[in-house]
Amino acid sequence: GNSVTQMEGPVTLSEEAFLTINCTYTATGYPSLFWYVQYPGEGLQLLLKATKADDKGSNKGFEATYRKETTSFHLEKGSVQVSDSAVYFCALRPYGGATNKLIFGTGTLLAVQP
């Protein structure tokens, strides 16, 4: 079946450090891949997406590349800020089918210290 596995948190970094949050997936065909972010007390927001192999999604300094050969979609940022502290969810949308449902990983809490 379809599933997403992401690294457990919390991830604690100092401001301006490099961030990597690992995400791997299991799916048939060619799913679309997403990173969502959830700030405290708020709903999930789409951070970036990629819809086919080798696509790179990017937004607000965050990047992730769709790697079909390793079934991965790791999130990276070169220099994190305190304001990046949040929970990050990797998700996939299965290829085809009648629904657009998203399948999420368990989330990774990022805490950035000044």
Which residue's CB is nearer to other proteins, number 17 or number 109?
109
- Among 34, 17, 23, smallest CA distance to 85 is for 17
Q: 8 by DSSP, 3-state: which?
A: coil
Q: Where are the beta strands (DSSP E) in 22-107?
A: 23-26, 32-38, 44-50, 56-59, 62-65, 75-77, 86-93, 103-104
Q: 80 by DSSP, 3-state: which?
A: coil
Does 40 interact with other proteins (rule: CB under 8 A)? Answer: no
Interface residue with other proteins among 14, 20, 106, 113 (CB under 8 A) is 106
Does 98 interact with other proteins (rule: CB under 8 A)? Answer: yes
Alpha carbons 40 and 29: distance in angstroms, whole number: 35
Interface residue with other proteins among 44, 59, 67, 76 (CB under 8 A) is 44
* Least distance in angstroms from the C-beta of 7 to other proteins: 13
Interface residue with other proteins among 1, 43, 70, 114 (CB under 8 A) is 43
Binding site for other proteins (CB under 8 A): 4, 32, 36, 41-46, 49, 51, 89, 91, 93, 98-107
